[in-house]
Every structure is written in C-alpha cells, then in structure tokens.
C-alpha cells in the first residue's frame, strides 16, 4: 500500500494531463523567455477566464518569488505592504519582501483574514499622525485567497477592502497560491472576473494546483508596472524555457481543468472533514477549502503518524497539537476512506 | 519538414530520459523543498562525479538566478565581483547582480576569457591605491566555462587564475550554464573534479544541457555560505517541488548522460563547422564547443533565415553581421547534413 | 521674552563649549575622513570613559543613519533584528532598516522596554518551529536607552537580556541617541563601562545631547564588523570633514561635559515634573529622564500651546491628548519656573 | 609657520562668515528636519540664484550620500546611470550606487568629461540590440562640474548632452561638489540658471566650498521625485538639526559669498599654476579650476613633501608620479607665494 500522505498539496508531480502535454510537445523547437506560442495561448485563455481582455499575464516559478517580484515592482520605494500577521509574506518567506527593501506592515487577523475595518483604522491613524512622513507609507494590501488557514474572503469582504484601498491610494494584491481550492469551494462567491475587477494584481497558483511549478501573475492594467519583463529578469525570475510554464497553464485553462483540480481536492477534503467530525475530532476553523486544521492529543498524534502523513502546525497546549491535513488534485476518495479505520 | 533551428540551446523541452524519469515518478508523494530522496540521490551522484564527498549541492532554477544568489551570498557587502566585459553578469542579466548591491568590476577579455595577468594587475593597482578603502574591494572572480563566445579555459589557465585569487583573498566562481558542452569538447582538459578543486563555487548547468530547467550549485566546502538554504528562499529561488530538479539531475548523472548530452551537441557542431568551412564561411573564433559564430553578408543572412533559424549576435560592419548557430542535446546529424544544401 | 520651547531636545545649536572648540580650531588644516588628531583624541577619550581600551569608535551623523549602518553591517543577510513595537527603528525611521534588506521583528513592550522573557520566549518558539529555516532568523536585539518613552533599563534587566542574546547567538545593540539623559538620571545604575561589557555595539548620542550633529558608535570588539570604514562610506555616511565630529566628541568627553549636559537637562525635567504634579497633571510614565509625557485636556492643550511649545504625542481619548515636554542641555531653570504661572 | 597644505579642499573648518552665523543663532530654538526659517530662507535664496522659483531644494550632508540618494530615487528600478569611467560614482564611492541596486554604466572619458557623442552612440547600440530588455536600461547621465580632473563642461557641451538625454528619455544629473570653483572659473560659461534649465537634478556643493558639511540638492521640477523627504529619511540622510545646513547655505547665498569662495580659491590656483609653469613643471591638464595635477619626479616629490602637503594621485611612470594640489576658500596668496622658494 502506498503512503497516505496529506502533508501538503505540493507532494506529487503534475496533473496527468500536463504530463501528457509536456510529452506531446517535448521535441518541438520554440523561442525562449515566454515568447512562444504556448505561452501566448495560455495568456489568452487566462485573459478569457478572467474576462479581462487587456490583462498582462506573466509566468513565474514559485510563490515566494512571485510575491517578492510583484510587491517590489508595484510599490514605490517609500511604501510598505499591509499583511495579516499570519500572512505568508509576514512569516514564511525568510524575509524575501524585506530583502527587496520594503516593510511588511503586519496587522491583526481573524481566522487568517484581514478585515476592511482593521485596515481603514490603521490608515486613519497613520495619516493623522503628523510624523507620518517619517514612517513607512502603506502602499498595498496583501491578501491570500484561500488564506493560510484555509478560510475565504467573500465578495463583500473583498469589495470593502477594495474601497479602503481606493480611499488611501493603495494597491490590492491577492496571492492565489491555492486559488483553485478557493474557486471550487462550496459557498465561494468570488470568481476570476471578480478578482480581475477588484485587484490591481493577483496570481493564479500552479505549483500547489497541479503544475510542476509555475504561477500566473495577472495585471488587469498592464501599465501598472512598466518594464515588468526586465524586472522579472533582474530578480532572477525569468524562465529561459518559458514555454514549460506556458504549456502547463494552457493545459490548466483548457476544458476547465483548473476547476477540476480544485473540485477533486475539495471532494477529498469534504469526505475527510466528515470522517473527522464523525470521530469527534476538533477542527480549528470552519473552512471550506483543501486545508483542514485539527487539534490532536499528542499521543494520538504520534500513533496516527505511523500510518498517515500530515503536517505539524503549532502547539495547541502542553498535551495537544494543531496539525494540518491538505488534500490536492492528486487525492483519491478511496484513500481517504481508508482513514476511517485509522483515525 | 520541421524547422532547422539553431537559435539557442534552450529551444526544446527535455532529454527523453528525463521525461521518462518524470513520468515514472509522477504520482509518488515526496516531501518538499529538496528534502526528498531523488534530490538526495542527485546530490550523491554529483558529489561522486566531482570526486568531492563533502560538497554541498543545491538546485536552483536558472542561470541569472543562480549567479545572483551565489554572488550575493558569497561576497561580503563591501565586495564586488570581477568579470569579463563580455560576461553574462556584465551584460545580459538586467542588472541582477547590482540589484543585490554588488558592483560587477568589468575587466578586458580576450576571446571571451579573463586572463590571470589582467586580474593580477588590477588587484595590484587596487591595493597600491591609498584610497582603496573608499573603493569596491574585489572579492570574487566570475568565469564562464564555456565562455559566452564558446571558448574554453584550459586547466593551466584556471590554475593561474586560482593563484591570483589566493594571492588576493578572492573566491573563484565558475558559471557552468553550458558545462556539458565544455566537458565533452575536443581538447578540453578540465574535469568536474578539477573544478571542485579549483573553484570555491561552481554550477553545473541543466537548463541549456537537457533539463526543463535547473542548475546544480556545488560548494566543495559547505561552510563557505552558512544558511545558504534560507538565503535561497529569501531570494525567491527555493523550489517547493524540489524533487523535480532532483529527478532531472539524478537522470543526468546516471549512466553518464551529462556527457552524452554534451557529445551529441558537439558532434552536430563539428559537422556544421566542417560544412561552414567547406563553404568558406568565416568563423569568428576557433572554439570547440556548441556555439559557432559566423560572419554573414547581410543579404545572405536574410536569404538563409528563410530556411534555418540562427541567432543574431552583433553587427560586424555595415554590410555584414555576426550570427550564432548553437547546437544542443536535441540536434540531429541528419538535420545538419540538410544544411549542406542550404548554406 | 524668548519662546518657552520643550518640543524636542534638538532645537538649539550646540553646547557653547563645542562652539568654542570649533571656533578655536576653525582655520587649522587637517586630513579628512576622521584620520585627524581631534577624532583620534575623541576616540581615546571615549575608550577611556568606557573602560574599553581596544574599542573601535566611529563617528556618524545621525540616529537613523547610525541604526541602519550598524544593523545592516552587523547582521548576516538572513537575519533580522528584534525591537520593541515602540522602538524607533520599528516606527519612525521611514523603513530605513528594511531598506537595507533586514526585517524588524517587533515584539511587545512594557513602558517602552523589551523584557528578557519576551525575547527568550520568542526565540524558543522560533527554534522549535520545524519550518524556522523558512523564516527570518533573529540575529540581534535592539534596545534604546533611554527608551522612546523616556524609561530606563536597569543593569539587571540589561544583564538578563544579554543572557538571552548569548543563549541564542544574537548580538546586543543599544541605541543611545539620548544616552546623556540616561547616564545622569536619578536611579540609573548602568554606566558606559557596563554598556561596553554588555553590548556588542552601542552608540553615544551627540545630536540630542549638545552637538550640532554626530553619534559615536562603539564596538568593544572591532573584529565584529570587518571593513566597517568602507561600509560607512558605502552607506553614504562617511564625513569628509570628519574632524567636525571629532572636535565635538572630544569636547563632550573633556571635563565630563557629557554628564554635565545630562545633568542640566535632568534638573530642568525634575523641576518641570514637580510643577506638573503640584498642578495635578497626570503623567503617563514614572520615568527619570528628560522626556515627560503628560495627558492634557484638549482645550487646555490649545490654551497652553499659545505660551509654550511642546510635542504632540498621540491621542489619549476623544477629549484628551498625550503631549511630550523634552528638556535638554539648553534648558534653563528660570525658564521652567515661568511655567508655574502658565501651566 | 603653519603647514602649507594643498592636499584637498576639505581640510579647514568653515568660512568665517558661516562660523559667525552659527554663533549668532546658536541658542535660538527652531523646529527640526529642515522646517525652520533659516532653511526656508536658504531655499529661497538658492531658487533666486538659480532663477527657478518652483525648484525644490533639499540639504544633505555629503557628496556620496547625495549621489546615492538622488540616483536611487530618480531612477526606475530597471535603470542604471551612465557615468565617465573616471567619475566619482564609478570609482570612489565604495559601491554606494550599486548598494542601492543600480548599475553604473561606465563610458570612456576625455579629460574627465563624457562627450555627447559617446553617450549617443552607446544608446543607439543599446536600443538596436534586440536583447536590450535583458539588459540594464540607461536612465540617467551623471556628470561632475568641475570633473574629477578639474576640467569644465561648456554650455554647448552640456546642451548637446541634454539633447541626447531628451532623445533617449534619460535624466541629467550634475554633481556640483566643487561647483563654486566652476562658477568662478575663467572661461566658464555655465551659470546656475543654466544648470536649472539643463539638468533634471543637480547639487550645489557645500562641504568642499566653505561649509562644515552640506550639499544643496536642486530639483527644478519637484514632481520628479515624489516623497523625496521620506526617502531622504529612509536613506539615513535627514538631519535632525536641519537648520545647521540651512544657516550655512543662507550665508553662502547672501552677498554672493558662494562666488567669493570660488574666486578666492581660483586666484590662489592661478598663482600656483603660474609659479609651476615658471619652474617648468609639467601639468597634466589645462584646466581653470582649483585642482592642479602635476607630474613630479619621485625624488623631487619626496623632497617637496617635507615642506608642503599635496595629494598623491597616481603613478605616471616608474620614476614619476602625478600629484594634486587643491586650493580652497581658505587658501591665502601669501602662502602660495612661499611656494616660489620651495618648488
């Protein structure tokens, strides 16, 4: 029997359809740096999916890289980026944002989410302070959808945050590392066209959603970041064989594969949630996406770890721990069913 | 008939054996960030090929990224890196090195190569200058093997440069983006174990030598750059699915595929060189690797461009242009033979 | 009558003895960049005052500059600096630390002070987190003495923090922008020799303590930051006429002027505190240095502002405001007495 | 007898009129950070002298700092700055420009000057290169007036360079560290109003022209760099006691003192040049400003060094050396006359 593994959503290779596409095109010769026809086709499909015909679309390699390139190039040098204290850029990117010279202004979160009121209140206080020209000016709001805790912003919440951004001349940037698992979630009311309308920039995650690697950055208004291509190169983020990203995203946005990837993971997550609840495990959040945070007794945790892989999240108290189960495009319902007997 | 394409060595996908390996492993579940067994195996194979059992080996995505990460983390903040004026970091990386805060100290080259004497003379003058504490201190020498002009350093030349580095406490770093095409070249006398002995750091190129992407950074003495892993992450260069690089390099260093990749390209280059000479084309350099620089009459160039792809290099004079033909692991001798009737 | 001004401690020119010294030496010719005999003499006097004969002493221009240069050059690239949320580098330096590429790790404070336990607890959690190599490593603790709220660390508190620094291999850096007002304070038990023993780096503030400008950075162990001179230049912080700083600090450390500067300010502060308490004003902190934070009714505040200058600090509630009175070397007791009739 | 010292133009304190002004204002209380009335008055006087009523004027501390702050904040991140290979930013600023992330694109010079044709030719080649989006885009031209070799640009030369800047959308920035010695030079035809018309940014040097420290940055169009104040702070370059710079520049631009400073130095330089020529010393450049470069026999050099201080510049050949004599506002004709008997 293969291992039951729910440690993360980047543990397998690539969706079989992507493997097929890479195989089919392998020996063809194309120009480099994303100027090939596959990348162009992927861009067109993404523009169409976002209902945003003028958007610029760039393919980068990974999430931290994308966050650093986008935030650094979209901010003015005197600006910082507002993020939740639990945000990926606040905690888990080894200071990649500060490395580019910008402060991450960390604000309090609730269930992993920033609230419009929290941001508004910070900005009000900031601009009332007569010393604010000696301080880091908030120039952008960074959100993750789903958040690091697997929760989702509703359309109303995003719209309220957009209004605060408008009121204080801030850009809105959304990190969609796991966006497939938001788009397909029950109760989600935020679509790709909504994101293209609400955000100044966002990215559609590939690495955690079925690709080998790759994130598609969408700029609804390309004039927002002039010479973005050159700055991607300057940050060491330009792929020589750009088509490898292009082929992957072309496949993801053909026959709605990106949604299918999401749905597969969420069906597995839903079944797992049902089993956990049946067995009276305590979940930390009521969230509808592919990450499930469970409080385990430490002895139980060690016992379980022998038959199933999951992620250690954080200590809960002296005798309990929060762990994470993450499903993905590669999860199988019959495997989750096996957990019934193990959990 | 498919296009005859010699524009560059990163125009096709990946070596068929690599595709096979990715296919075979696709649905297996492994931990992320290069902690998987494939990456570990690739590291072992590379250590063995370099006869350097203690080396640290890290897999990054592309050449500019690798240069920026290595140079930034190996230099002290007050140091710059010496490079040929024709060096990739001097010209074609969009300022990625300066972006990290370090000056590229550009010295004169001959056939794309830095000479030990040029470096020594620069250092002598530098340290004699009583204002040198107001200047950027040379902390590293950057070489490319093969160079940007397809030429090679001999073992004697590298040894002489190493001596200058020792005399002036500089690190020696070698960019092996196309290293396969150096190792397999006729007349080459520099092996991987030589590089591991002579260099403080070097990288074995994958992107241009048969991989989808990927460069293997070798640090013969891992203590040279403490916390390199964290700084790779900080530079946005850490792959979540690290195994994808690991599997590729494991394949390249199994059954000597890296050499085979080089040999295939060089046989094609050799045949092409023979044909060009037969037809009295003028080559710019006498070099033994996979890049051939030819002076073409501009009319002839336009005519040829209809049946074969090559790279525009630079104007030669008002009526002639230097173009580049680059072969690769994907080049076929029968295709090159077709050029006999075209050139 | 001249204005009664307590807005800040950098509102007048320079202590008359410093003016005299600049006048006396004005037309002499000396070499530049701090290699002159006045700077050397100042360094000797500071080493002696710190009982630290091997210390390196460098003169920089201002506080934010000093913090940025010291923190950037003393940290490894993958490290950040721990500071109180109320720390000057956290709030009021326009992101100067992040501009150098380093995260300010903001921890909770009490009366403007970091507590050893807060730091220890953060470090414990950090190193227990198995993902900590994906996070910014704490490499330094930043303290201000006096703090931004005018409070003081005791010798016991500093010693406890030093122990945490030792336990987690962190450097201890103390910002002494207003150090004269700490050294001369009632109840202070931390001397310059104590600082030289406890800190890896600290600076003795000039700008706010009687100089035109200037901060003296003390490195008890000069090997801590190799080539510091060159990096000062690289940060644009090297004075051509270095002697101007040297002459000022030579004067400050002759006949104990630095202590006299502190005493003058503290006598004025003490008198002002007495008057405020007599008149039943509410002070925010019980602190013994030159900054007094008072809660004023907003109407009273506007009324007072017509006859005396003070600094707006922050809103207290809808009808009250916290304001700051700062005395300095230039404050006169007879002026403070005039406040009796005004307050 | 005091030493005859011509090592540099920053060896004495400050012009006596500046000392008087600092003395007169010493105990007055003013707000900080350049918001005081002296700074405002200095700004007005400079705007008037430049015939540029809308200019923004900011006071920084020193030359390297000013260059780094201006170049970093005026360039886009993907741009570099063109400078002569002999430019101060190319050689003698310890990599301060690269530290901010920007490449210095070094072009060939003649007598320390860049020629319009050199710049135009570089730009033409750059934009013709189809790979130029992989390269550092030239965004600014940096000139020094006088140059590092004491030579001057004529109005015609500056106008020609301005035209190239316009043709290629580059900013023109002029480093006036020694501008007083250009403005007062015989044959100079470039005035402050000319500079305000031709340059996007320039600075009027104080440190080498009679101040303790200080450089006045002039932006004829203030909208060129939004939030420049905050970025000055971010670079650690904001003076708390801003008025100290303000008072100095107010004095320099009252009763035409800046010109007088220049004239004093140039009269001394002219006499020294006459004496040197009478005695058949060989000058390296025919230049009209305060720096004189002389070729000395090495034995003669050692002999002279016993009675007069000068600067070592560079070896000329095995038995000769180029040395520099620099006069200043503090030079006295009777001292120069003493050189007649020494040289």
**D92–chain A Cβ distance below 8 A for any pair:** no
Between positions 140 and 199 of A, the ones with CB within 8 A of B are none
Cβ of B98 within 8 Å of Cβ of D94? The answer is no
Q: What is the pLDDT of residues A280-293, one digit of tens each?
A: 999 999 999 999 99
Burial of C156 (0-12, 13-18, 19+ CB in 10 A): exposed
Query: A62: which DSSP letter?
Result: -
* pLDDT tens profile C282-322: 999 999 999 999 999 999 999 999 999 999 999 999 999 99
Say yes or no to pLDDT of A1 above 60: no
Interface membership of B133 toward C (CB under 8 Å):
yes
- Residue A80 pairs with which residues in a beta bridge? A138
Q: What is the DSSP string of D28-91?
A: ----STT-SHHHHHHHHHHHHHTT-TT-EEEEES-HHHHHHHHHHHHS-TTEEEEEETT-HHHH
Q: Which of C11, C27, C65 sits opposite D30 (nearest CB)?
A: C11
The answer to whether A233 contacts chain D (CB < 8 Å) is: yes
Are C92 and A312 a contacting pair at CB < 8 A?
no
Q: Which residues, in sequence order, are CB contacts of A62 under 8 Å at separation 6+? A: A207, A213, A215, B236, B238, B239, B240
Contact (CB<8Å) A29/B5? yes
Name the residue facing C133 among B77, B134, B229 (closest C-beta): B229
Is C92's Cβ below 8 Å from some Cβ in A?
yes
* Closest chain C residue to D233, measured at CA: C94
Average of pLDDT values for B18-31? 97
Of the listed ranges A166-175, C99-108, C308-317, the one predicted with least confidence: C308-317
**Whole-number pLDDT of residue A2:** 59
ipTM of the complex: 0.97
Nearest-neighbour CA in chain B from A133: distance (Å) = 26
Q: How confident is the model at residue D38 (pLDDT cuts 50, 70, 90)?
A: very high
pLDDT > 60? residue D229 = yes
- Whether the pLDDT of residue C2 is over 70: the answer is no
Decide: helix, strand or coil at residue C153: coil
How many whole angstroms separate alpha carbon C93 and alpha carbon A133? 9
B280-296: average pLDDT: 96
Cα(C267)–Cα(C273) distance, rounded to whole angstroms? 10
Which pLDDT tens digit goes with each residue over D237-268? 999 999 999 999 999 999 999 999 999 999 99
Average the pLDDT over C215-221 and give the result. Answer: 98
Tokens, residue C246: 């040297």
Q: Which residues of A touch C90 (CB under 8 A)?
A: none
Confidence band of C66 (pLDDT split at 50, 70, 90)? very high
What residues in B contact D129, CB-CB < 8 Å?
314
Q: How far off is chain A from B4, nearest CA to CA, in Å?
A: 9
CA distances from D30 to C4, D36, D113 (A): 11, 6, 43
Q: Residue range B267-277: average pLDDT?
A: 97
pLDDT of D171 strictly over 60: yes
For range B279-302, the mean pLDDT: 96
Does residue B3 register a pLDDT over 90?
Answer: no
Mean pLDDT within A229-237: 98
Confidence bin at C67 (pLDDT 50/70/90)? very high
CB contact under 8 A, A230 and D134: yes
Q: What is the pLDDT of residue A120?
A: 98
Question: C34, C78, C224: which to substitute to probe chain B, counting the most B Cβ within 10 Å?
Answer: C78
| B32 in D contact zone (CB under 8 Å) | no
Q: What's the gap in Å between the CA of B95 and the closest CA on chain C?
A: 18
Distance from CA of A136 to the nearest CA of C (A): 5
Is the Cβ of D224 closer than 8 Å to some Cβ of chain A? no
In this predicted structure, the answer to whether residue C3 has a pLDDT above a threshold of 90 is: no
A contacts of B62 (beta carbons < 8 Å): 236, 238-240
pLDDT at position B2 is 59
pLDDT digits (tens, 9 = 90+) for A70-79: 999 999 999 9
SS3 C109: coil
Give the pLDDT mean for D69-88.
98
The rounded Cα B280 to chain-centroid distance in angstroms is 30
Surface of C (249-278) touching D: CB under 8 A: none
Instruction: Give pLDDT tens digits for B69-98.
Output: 999 999 999 999 999 999 999 999 999 999
Positive or negative, the Cα torsion across A41, A45, A48, A54?
A: negative
pLDDT (0 to 100) of residue D2: 59
What is residue A22's predicted lDDT score, i.e. its pLDDT? 98
What are the beta bridge partners of residue D79? D137
**What pLDDT is recorded for position D263?**
98
- Which chain D residues touch A227 with a CB distance below 8 Å? 76, 78, 133, 137
Q: Which residues of A touch C104 (CB under 8 A)?
A: 103
Is B264's pLDDT higher than 70? yes
Q: Is the CB of B91 inside 8 Å of chain A's CB atoms?
A: no
Q: Average pLDDT in the C20-45 region?
A: 97
Residue A224 touches partner D, C-beta closer than 8 Å:
no
Identify the CA nearest to A323 among candidates A292, A278, A289.
A292
pLDDT at position C295 is 97
Name which of C101, C137, C229 is nearest B133 (Cβ-Cβ). C229
Average pLDDT, integer, range D94-116: 98
Q: Give me the pLDDT at residue C42, please.
A: 98
CB contact, 8 Å: B301 with chain D? no
Tell whether D235 is within 8 A of chain B (Cβ). no
C65 touches chain D (CB under 8 A): yes
């Amino acid at each position: 029997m293969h291992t039951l593994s729910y440690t993360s959503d980047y543990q397998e290779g690539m969706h079989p359809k992507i493997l097929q596409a890479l195989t089919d095109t392998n020996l063809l010769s194309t120009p480099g740096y994303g100027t090939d026809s596959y990348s162009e086709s992927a861009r067109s499909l993404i523009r169409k999916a976002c209902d945003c015909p003028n958007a610029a679309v760039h393919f980068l390699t990974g999430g931290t890289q994308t966050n650093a390139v986008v935030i650094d190039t979209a901010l003015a040098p005197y600006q910082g980026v507002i993020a939740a204290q639990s945000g990926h850029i606040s905690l888990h990117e080894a200071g990649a944002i500060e490395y580019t010279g910008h402060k991450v202004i960390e604000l309090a979160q609730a269930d992993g989410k920033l609230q419009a009121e929290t941001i508004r209140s910070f900005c009000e206080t900031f601009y009332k302070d007569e010393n604010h020209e000696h301080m880091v000016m908030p120039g952008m709001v960074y959100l993750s959808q789903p958040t690091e805790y697997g929760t989702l912003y509703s359309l109303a919440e995003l719209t309220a945050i957009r209004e605060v951004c408008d009121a204080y001349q801030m850009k809105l940037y959304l990190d969609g590392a796991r966006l497939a698992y938001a788009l397909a979630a029950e109760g989600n009311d935020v679509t790709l066209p909504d994101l293209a309308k609400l955000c100044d920039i966002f990215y559609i995650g590939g690495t955690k959603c079925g690709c080998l690697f790759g994130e598609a950055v969408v700029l609804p208004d390309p004039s927002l970041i002039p010479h973005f291509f050159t700055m991607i190169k300057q940050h060491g983020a330009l792929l020589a064989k750009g088509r490898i990203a292009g082929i992957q995203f072309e496949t993801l946005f053909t026959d709605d594969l990106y949604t299918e990837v999401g749905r597969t993971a969420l069906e597995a997550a839903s079944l797992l949630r049902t089993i956990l609840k049946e067995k009276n495990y305590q979940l930390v959040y009521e969230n509808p996406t592919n990450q499930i945070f469970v409080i385990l007794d430490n002895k139980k945790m060690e016992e379980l770890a022998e038959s199933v892989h999951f992620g250690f999240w954080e200590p809960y108290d002296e005798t309990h721990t929060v762990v994470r189960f993450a499903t993905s495009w590669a999860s199988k319902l019959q495997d989750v069913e096996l957990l019934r007997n193990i959990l």
